[in-house]
Structure 1
Amino acid sequence: MAARIYQRTQSAMQSGKARTEKWILEFEQAEARKADPLMGWTGSADTQAQVELTFPDKEAAKAYAAKYGIAARVHATPPKSLKLQAYADNFR
């Protein structure tokens, strides 16, 4: 049972920072998805892929994974860079 630990990024469709400070432990899929012959939707019998646990910091997520023997990979958060720009720059 493998999982990944990451921090949710800010959505491109909004400027707010809600729910971006929490860390997420998400299980990877154990089996491939297959198409349903009747409806054509894809799905699998793997229910662990639907589980998403949130933690206040990275250390708490790593401690949870270590406690329950989950092989977890930590994905580092990319550094945030601001592009400071004035409205007058549009007319240069």
Structure 2
Amino acid sequence: FSSWQKVKVNRLVQRSHGDRGGKRERSNVSGSSKQPALGGTLAETNRARIHPLPQGQHQTIHEDVTTLTGVPEEHIKTRKVRIFVPARNNMQSGVNNTKKWKMEFDTRERWENPLMGWASTADPLSNMVLTFRTKEDAVSFAEKNGWSYDVEERKVPKPKSKSYGANFSWNKRTRVSTK
């Protein structure tokens, strides 16, 4: 803060406490004074007015704070995201990582760094992947942030009906010669 901003903040704090001028009482450092410091710094005044919540209670803010994020508009208005369920890893037999929905951003301009030959980008969101429990959570998050989105539905493989005896059939070419 500059000096004139500090004076302005102090005047606002004084008005909120009903002080219209005259002498101001300051609390000393030892904490023996029972009244909050009027005319002190804004942090001292805020510390005096804060009341902690009882154990186990949480304060909920119902306003939308996405407009206050400070993110440049080119990262908000022109972004397109892809919402999908990742495919099963071929190296593993489990399907545990395929139950969550993921959101990834479109790729922007990339170039090859002439010094090392590395791929470079000026996009901070290009390598970020967000994870959600449901498709609806991911869609609502994209809408809340103003991003256009494409949803790729979960691909369910068709089961192939095959008998166990087909593994040992002699009339089909299932074995490969090793010679």
Q: TM-score range by the shorter chain?
A: 0.7 to 0.9
- The structure that has the greater radius of gyration is 2
Runs of 4+ in 1 over 6 A off after TM superposition: none
The answer on whether the counterparts of 2:83 and 2:138 sit within 8 Å (CA) in structure 1 is yes
Deviations, residues 51-92 of structure 1 (Å, cap 9, x unaligned): 111000100100001111011111122222233545542220
Answer whether contact 2:111 2:120 (CA < 8 A) is retained. yes
Q: Does the alignment pair 1:2 with 2:80?
A: yes
- What is the root-mean-square deviation in Å for CA atoms of aligned residues? 1.5
Q: Answer 1 or 2: higher relative contact order, Cα 8 Å, separation at least 6.
A: 1
- Deviations for 1:13-37, whole angstroms, at most 9, x for unmatched residues? 2211121000011111122x11111
- Of Structure 1 and Structure 2, the greater helix share is in 2
Which sections of structure 1, spanning at least 5 residues, go unmatched? Answer: none
TM-score (structure 1 length as normaliser): 0.87
Bigger proportion of residues as strand = 1
How many aligned positions are there? 91
Q: 1:14 to 1:86 in 2, by over 3 A?
A: farther
